[in-house]
Chain A
């Protein structure tokens, strides 16, 4: 496995968190704190239509009336919402941008992160340049989106959501908030009020998106929250595969990331949504790191529609995230494949909700949690079957792997079956990384770090195989790096 070797090299060569560099970019901020004027400021910055501002202000009002949820199995210093910046953008010209106009410093950052932004290089087959389209979101704004023109040829719209609000306002208006309503939860309401960018994707009927789409989120500015909004619509009989990646600099403070992702899937359409989340997890003592409070939901409206969530969660100090599927269509299908790795003082409360409303809808949940150090990981999942949904099937498997004696792992499955024909299966295992396995691998020549990486990659293999190939190798490396120093 070449990836293992690369992992080891990476581990040896780098600090624990390799994306932790801070870049000095000239940044424009909104005034600190949150009030209706800040919401107006953001909306104006984006040149949004009036209805959008109204929508945001309504969300803000709802948010004021809500309370932060406390049911998750995580502990953290409360966020002081008035001390944050809600908008931070690199200073540059507005409007459509070509790569030439982007601040070279920013391009350098993405180069360092290994994100291909140069279409020419990709097209010319420059070595190492993967062929997938990228929307690069830097703090609160999208700095560049690649392959827009090529995608437009087949009718695929892939652009920053702020741009879509100007260019396709009707399309956005039709679907925005239709999957995750403004008042869905505290963080979704906050996001609705202040989101500044994210990606918008529309795949027209019958089109199979010709390349992987991806959005790369980077938080750079200090004391700034990132609130991204992603909306993907797969029209009838279409298909797309989408991936998001995230990193942030190492900072002593906790930074808030509260995203909302909405997927709309019509008849016979399919969306494959993958996440490799590597936000800064905080230092060895648990200082700093990202609060990752995210609402992700897919609405499988169409018959035979299909959504597959795959997530590799290795970063963040605190994760609160439940990518879910509302299976409205008959014979619709939802899948959730998750790898959650926690080390140090990280806490993750993550899982999924499969809401079966349509007849013969199916869902499948494979969740793998790896806990090391003093970290704590919870799988929290709901499988719900509506009284009228006959012939529903679900299979759930939750496996936990513990490394060392100071970490915790919990499984909290909720099952609500209101129709007697449902077939629901739940399997769960908890194991400890065994000394026997470690020694066996070391006896054959692997160092301790290599042995841990190999064993953990074996444990998560079922899920890793669900990732698009371009990202699987990267994710394998990430697994090893996240667990550095977890044994011995």
Chain B
């Protein structure tokens, strides 16, 4: 269970999250929707420990620990994975090398045996085939010269290989055409399991046609202002976020 209580996060001097409280039980998929500037990406960064996103108040419990006490790598080893809205290019480091290095770093941190090269390659081949990715592409430097859609698939591929337990998807649908959206969503759905909690951050309802959430929350002005079932997403799509926006903001 992910348990966020009264979380306040500032970037520089600017408070972005202002008392966010949210529970996501293992096995569930929760969608976070909200207008631009509500703090959606900040939530993803704060949970994964990005420097500069300072939690000034509150707590985040995951797998029996306060995540806020851990550095980003330690959180990753605890199963936290953030799929970036804008995945970062890593020149000179082949995608395969990057993922294997990351996987082994996590395994070491957990005191597990490192993955062997053949076992890793086998896993990569299966995962990349499922995402309809060209294996040759994985020998190229990570994300360098990849299209927007390829970068997003690469994020999901990493997610499949790293096998995280707390999955945070930040605007995974942005930049995807309809075919890519379907393939990526299938990749995400394949990772749904009773041990995993998933936070799907999105601006639009359309992604939720593919990744069906158990709960939908509206994030506005740094707090959860409404929660409901999947029907809430449709309501937002029809009515917009206007009624959640602070008056005269």
Q: Are A and B subunits of one complex? A: yes
Contact surface of A with B, Cβ cutoff 8 Å: 1, 4-5, 434-437, 439-448, 450, 454-455, 457-462
* B88 close to A436 (CB less than 8 A): yes
- Determine the chain A residues whose CB is within 8 A of the CB of B75 once the complex forms: 443
Other-chain residue from B51, B73, B90, B92 in contact with A447 (beta carbon distance below 8 A)? B73
Q: Is there contact, CB below 8 Å, between B93 and A458? A: yes
Find chain B residues with CB under 8 A from A445 CB. 73, 76-77, 102-103, 105-106, 109, 162
Assuming A5-B114, A445-B76, A446-B105, what are 20 further A-B pairs, CB within 8 angstroms?
A: A5-B104, A437-B88, A439-B50, A440-B84, A441-B102, A443-B76, A444-B76, A444-B98, A444-B99, A445-B73, A445-B106, A445-B162, A447-B73, A447-B105, A448-B71, A454-B90, A454-B93, A454-B101, A455-B93, A458-B90
Whether the pair A439, B72 counts as a contact (CB closer than 8 A) is: yes
Pairwise interchain contact A1-B101, C-beta atoms closer than 8 A: yes
A-B contact count (CB 8 A): 89
Within 8 A of A (CB), among B130-179: 141, 158, 162
Given the complex, which residues of A lie within 8 Å of B108, measured CB to CB?
A: 5
Interface readout for B48-82 with A: 1 if CB under 8 Å, 0 if not?
Answer: 11111000000000000000000111011100111
Report which of A1, A443, A455 forms a contact with B90, defined as CB distance below 8 A.
A455
13 contacts between A and B (CB under 8 A): A435-B51, A442-B71, A443-B48, A443-B75, A444-B105, A445-B102, A445-B109, A454-B90, A454-B101, A458-B90, A458-B93, A458-B141, A459-B91
**Complex: chain B residue closest to A464, CB-CB:** B92
Which A-chain residue is minimally distant from B83 (CB atoms)?
A: A443
Which chain A positions have C-beta within 8 A of B84? 440
| Cβ B92 vs Cβ A450 within 8 A | no
Top-3 shortest CB links A-B = A458-B92, A458-B93, A444-B102
Q: How close is A13's CB to chain B, nearest CB, in angstroms?
A: 14
Assess whether A442 is in contact with B93, with CB atoms less than 8 Å apart.
no
User: Assuming A454-B93, A462-B92, is B72 touching A443 (CB within 8 A)?
Assistant: yes
- With a cutoff of 8 Å between Cβ atoms, the chain A residues found around residue B97 in the complex are 1
Instruction: Name A462's closest neighbour in chain B (CB-CB).
Output: B92
Is the beta-carbon distance between A440 and B104 smaller than 8 angstroms?
no
Asked if B158 and A444 sit within 8 Å, CB to CB, the answer is yes
How big is chain B's contact interface, by range? 35 or more
Q: Measured between alpha carbons, how far is A443 from B51 in the docked complex, in Å?
A: 11
| Chain B residues within an 8 Å CB radius of A459 | 91-92
Contact digits for B99-123, partner A, Cβ 8 Å, 1 yes 0 no: 1111111101100001000000000
A446 CB contacts on chain B under 8 angstroms: 73, 101-102, 105
Contact A440 to B76, CB < 8 A, known contacts A4-B101, A445-B103, A458-B141: no
Docked-complex contact A441 and B48, CB < 8 angstroms? no
The A interface is mostly helix, strand or loop, or mixed, namely helix
For residue A455, which residues in chain B have a CB less than 8 angstroms away from its CB? 90, 93
- A contact residues around B80 at 8 Å (CB): 443
Nearest CB in chain B: distance from A464 CB, A:
9
Q: Smallest distance from the beta carbon of B141 to chain A beta carbons, Å? A: 7
Q: Chain B residues with Cβ under 8 A from A437's Cβ?
A: 88-90
Expressed in whole angstroms, the Cα–Cα distance for A441 and B158 within the complex equals 12
Distance between Cα atoms of A445 and B70 in the complex (Å)? 12
Q: How far is the CB of B113 from chain A (nearest CB, A)?
A: 13
Q: What's the least CB distance linking A476 to chain B, in Å?
A: 11
In the complex, what residues of A have CB within 8 A of residue B106's CB?
444-445
Q: How far is the CA of A445 from the CA of B107 in the complex (A)?
A: 9
Cβ B51 vs Cβ A439 within 8 A: yes
- Complex Cα gap A97–B71 (Å): 56
Of B88, B97, B105, B162, the most chain A CB neighbours within 10 A belong to: B105
Of A435, A441, A450, the most chain B CB neighbours within 10 A belong to: A441
Q: How far is the CA of A434 from the CA of B52 in the complex (A)?
A: 14
**In the complex, what residues of B have CB within 8 A of residue A448's CB?**
71, 73
| Whole-angstrom distance between the Cβ of B166 and the nearest chain A Cβ | 12
Please, how many angstroms separate the alpha-carbon atoms of A457 and B71 in the complex? 23
Report the minimal beta-carbon distance from B78 to chain A, rounded to whole angstroms: 10
Residues in chain A near residue B87, CB distance under 8 A: 440
B106 to chain A, nearest CB (A): 4
- Flag if A444 contacts B162 (CB, 8 Å): yes
**CB nearest neighbor in A for B53:** A439
A450 close to B90 (CB less than 8 A): no
Q: Whose C-beta in chain B lies nearest to the C-beta of A4?
A: B101
Cβ–Cβ < 8 Å partners of A4 in chain B: 101
* Chain A: CB-nearest residue to B114: A5
Contacts of A435 in B (CB 8 A): 51-52
Q: When A435-B51, A442-B71 are in contact, do A460 and B104 touch as well, CB less than 8 Å?
A: no
What separation, in Å, do the CA atoms of A7 and B89 have in the docked complex? 23
Closest-by-CB residue of A relative to B102 is A444
Task: Please judge, given known A-B contacts A445-B76, A445-B105, A446-B105, whether A440 and B88 are in contact too, CB under 8 Å.
Answer: yes
Is A443's CB under 8 angstroms from B91's CB? no
Smallest distance from the beta carbon of B52 to chain A beta carbons, Å?
A: 8
* Complex Cα–Cα for A447 and B104 (A): 12
The residues of B that contact A460 with a CB separation of less than 8 Å are: 92
Please give, as numbers and ranges, the residues of chain A lying within 8 Å of B73 by CB-CB distance: 442, 445-448, 450
Which residue of chain A is the closest to B103 with respect to CB atoms? Answer: A445
The closest CB in chain A to the CB of B52 belongs to A435
